[in-house]
């Protein structure tokens, strides 16, 4: 009801802005800290994820008395907003967790460290990161982040519901028609049970659930030079019609406007199948679930990855160098293994993925997590990394939601969104 939040955000932003004025230009200075430093470190991990991270931090702080890391919890969904406020104050954190999609916006931030040179150092072993993660960290030929976490989408299904309906479990040869038929068969209006659930908040989450269908069917989000929308192609329309067919004709989809009840509903056996990532698996203790790679179009089963980043800000006095030393350690193979075993986070260094003994141990931690780990190999494309992407994403999100609500047919919805996306692309490049 009030505009309190807005006023406080704005006020903090500019109060801090009024107090300081020094802007360091954002490239690594090469200087090393002259004495012990304490680095601020923002992350969005909770529960088991936070325990694992804190254990690693304790280890680092014990071994490196000169560079101590002070963690601060910042909700991932609002990390960019909070960073904006800190930047206005001229005091960004030394290291912060950010979504990969925020990089184009952050590129203009004063003090953001360009990591391109740093990645050439042998101890970083940059080429050891999977290709998709390296690409997502790069904007306009500059490396601006270090991969922190990589997810991908796969099918998570409730085995008991499949057994009760007399259906075969999903397999790696499934088509989207098979998926649709299973969803319809699992749906039971009397029991308020749905075959599938879809995030309907028109956010990027609504969009990236659609992207793999688009790509599998041979479509793409933008034209090759990123100048025009391409998702309203016949391939894109056909891909969206899979979803609208389920949502509008079959009514087999729980339309999750809030994009949060679905975990609880799946865990209570009210939803048969989800397309989701490994982060949700720990929310399903009551369900005997299975994990399978995405269904495909014409045998193409590619998926999408959502890489998140550690970004580094230069606060002078050699702090940036200290931050980079820490990040190199945090993302090195040993730490990645320890964290993966404790949390189920997918490893994304080739040397770790190819370590058979480790992969076996990893698969035993949380059921199904090994399928997600292997599914990283099915990541073939990345979303465009450009400044106008938030607008493109918003237009697509609205199109998908309006089509799935039956407000517009798939073609009209995507055409309208393409017009809007083209305006944004012309404006922001």
Partner 1 sequence: MKRFRRFLVSDHAAGWAFILPSVILIVVFGVIPIVWGLILSFQKAGLISPEREWVGLQNYTQIASDPKARQAAVNTIYYTALFVPISILASLFIAHALNRKIAFVRFYRLAVFIPVVTSTIATGIMFLWLFDRNYGLANWLLGRVGLGPFGFFEEPSQAMIALVLMTVWGWLGFDTIIYLAALQGVPQELIEAAAIDGASRWSSFWRVTWPMLGPATLLLVVWSTISALQLFDEVFFVTKGGPLGRTSVVVFYVYRLAFEQGLGGLSLAGYAAAIAYVLFLVILVLTLAQFWLGRRVVHYAS
Q: What is the three-state SS of 73-107?
A: ECCHHHHHHHHHHHHHCCCCCCEEEEEHHHHHHHC
Half-sphere exposure of 387 (CA within 13 A, CB side): 12
Cα 381–Cα 386–Cα 389 angle in degrees, nearest 5: 85
Give the containing element (helix H, strand E) for 276.
strand 271-276
Q: Does 126 bind partner 1 (CB under 8 A)?
A: no
Tell which residue, 353, 352, 426, has the closest CA to residue 391.
426
Sketch the per residue contact string, 198 through 237, with partner 1: x for CB under 8 A, - otherwise. Answer: --xxxx----------------------------------
What are 370's two structure tokens?
């090994």
Stretch that binds partner 1, among 2-10, 42-50, 342-350, 358-366 (CB under 8 A): 2-10
Q: Does 2 bind partner 1 (CB under 8 A)?
A: yes
Among 110, 269, 367, 384, binds partner 1 (CB under 8 A): 110
Among 3, 123, 190, 299, binds partner 1 (CB under 8 A): 3
Q: Are 239 and 210 in contact (CB under 8 A)?
A: yes
Backbone angles phi, psi at 3, to 5 degrees: -100, 25
CB of 229 to partner 1, least distance (A): 16
Q: Which is nearer to partner 1, 1 or 356 (CB)?
A: 1
Q: Does 190 bind partner 1 (CB under 8 A)?
A: no
Q: Does 394 bind partner 1 (CB under 8 A)?
A: yes
DSSP string over 191-213: GTBEEEEEE-S-SHHHHHTTHHH
CB of 6 to partner 1, least distance (A): 6
Tell which residue, 156, 298, 273, has the closest CA to residue 216.
298
What are 168's two structure tokens?
């075969």
Q: Does 252 bind partner 1 (CB under 8 A)?
A: no
Q: Which is nearer to partner 1, 202 or 287 (CB)?
A: 202
DSSP 250: I
Q: Does 248 bind partner 1 (CB under 8 A)?
A: no
Sheet containing 154-158: which strands, arranged edge to edge? 253-256, 194-199, 271-276, 154-158, 289-292
CB of 197 to partner 1, least distance (A): 11
Sketch the per residue contact string, 47 through 86, with partner 1: x for CB under 8 A, - otherwise. Answer: ---------------------------------xx-xx--
Binding residues (CB under 8 A) for partner 1: these are 1-11, 13-15, 18, 23, 80-81, 83-84, 87-88, 102, 104-110, 192, 200-203, 254-255, 257-258, 261, 387-388, 390-391, 394, 398, 401-402, 405, 407, 424, 427-429
């Amino acid at each position: 009801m009030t505009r309190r939040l807005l006023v406080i955000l704005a006020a903090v932003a500019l109060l801090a802005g009024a107090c300081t004025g020094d802007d360091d230009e954002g490239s690594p200075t090469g200087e090393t800290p002259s004495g012990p430093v304490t680095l601020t470190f923002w992350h969005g991990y909770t529960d088991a994820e936070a325990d694992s991270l804190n254990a690693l931090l304790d280890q680092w702080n014990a071994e490196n008395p000169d560079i101590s890391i002070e963690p601060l919890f910042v909700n991932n969904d609002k990390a960019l907003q909070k960073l904006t406020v800190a930047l206005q104050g001229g005091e960004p954190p030394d290291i912060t967790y950010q979504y990969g999609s925020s990089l184009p916006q952050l590129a203009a931030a004063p003090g953001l460290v360009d990591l391109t040179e740093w990645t050439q150092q042998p101890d970083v072993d940059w080429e050891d990161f999977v290709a998709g993660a390296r690409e997502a960290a790069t904007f306009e030929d500059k490396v601006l982040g270090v991969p922190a976490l990589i997810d991908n989408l796969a099918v998570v299904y409730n085995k008991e519901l499949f057994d009760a309906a007399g259906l075969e479990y999903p397999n790696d040869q499934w088509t989207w028609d098979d998926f649709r038929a299973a969803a319809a068969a699992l749906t039971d209006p009397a029991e308020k049970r749905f075959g599938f659930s879809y995030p309907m908040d028109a956010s990027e989450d609504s969009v990236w659930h659609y992207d793999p269908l688009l790509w599998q069917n041979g479509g793409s989000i933008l034209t090759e030079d990123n100048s025009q929308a391409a998702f309203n192609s016949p391939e894109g329309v056909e891909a969206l019609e899979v979803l609208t067919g389920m949502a509008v004709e079959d009514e087999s989809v729980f339309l999750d406007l809030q994009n949060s009840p679905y975990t609880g509903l799946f865990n209570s056996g009210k939803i048969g199948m989800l397309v989701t990532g490994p982060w949700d698996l720990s929310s399903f203790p009551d369900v005997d679930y299975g994990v399978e790679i995405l269904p495909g179009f014409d045998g193409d089963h590619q998926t999408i990855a959502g890489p998140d980043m550690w970004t580094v800000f230069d606060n002078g006095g050699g702090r940036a160098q200290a931050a980079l030393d820490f990040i190199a350690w945090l993302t090195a193979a040993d730490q990645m293994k320890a964290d993966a075993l404790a949390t189920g986070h997918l490893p994304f260094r080739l040397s770790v993925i190819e370590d058979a003994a480790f992969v076996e141990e990893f698969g035993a931690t949380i059921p199904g997590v090994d399928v997600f780990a292997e599914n990283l190999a099915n990541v073939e494309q990345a979303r465009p990394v450009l400044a106008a992407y938030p607008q493109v994403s918003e237009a697509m999100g609205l199109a998908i939601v309006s089509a799935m609500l039956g407000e517009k047919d798939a073609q009209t919805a995507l055409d309208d969104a393409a017009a809007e996306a083209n305006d944004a692309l012309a404006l922001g490049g």
